[in-house]
Copies of this chain bind each other. A is one copy, B any other.
Amino acid sequence: MSFAPIFSWPVRIYYEDTDAGGVVYHTNYIKFMERARTEFLRSQGIELDVMEQEHRILFAIRALSVEYRRPARLNDLLRVTVDFDAVRSASLMFRQTVFRDDELLCDGSVRVASICADSFRPKAIPDFMQVQLAERLAARAGE
């Protein structure tokens, strides 16, 4: 039995990410989390532009919560992780963290809904994506 490692994505801090407090502006960690989710999905063969154009699916954020523990600063190289709970028919709950080396800077959860790109109503996540994500969950659990 082995466990698939958690997915992580590097983010470098530029001036655009900071504010006059001298640290990273709070909403930018949430953007970093989205970059990491997007790259996680890409690593699973799921591309957001293909989902929209071929499947008419957008992923909309329904809820998020974030705890800010320590600030990041200009030039820092951060590591953003992505994990998720059980997939439901039209939504996903992600768990994410942002680290600088071994230091936890912030963490949060993001609930994402699969919606129709035309009507904006809930639309079932396609089977291929359900299967892909279920396999990933099993790999993470070491099954």
A64–B15 Cα distance when bound, in Å, is 17
Residues of chain B lying within 8 A (CB to CB) of residue A63: 65-68
Residues of chain B lying within 8 A (CB to CB) of residue A61: 26, 68
A61–B24 Cα distance when bound, in Å, is 11
Bin the interface of chain A by size: 35 or more
Identical subunits present: 4
A23–B115 Cα distance when bound, in Å, is 13
Out of B19, B47, B60, name the residue touching A20 (CB < 8 Å): B19
Where the two chains meet, the residues of A that have a C-beta atom closer than 8 Å to any C-beta of B are 12, 14-16, 18-23, 25-28, 30-31, 34-35, 38-39, 47-49, 52, 58, 60-68, 71, 73-75, 117, 120
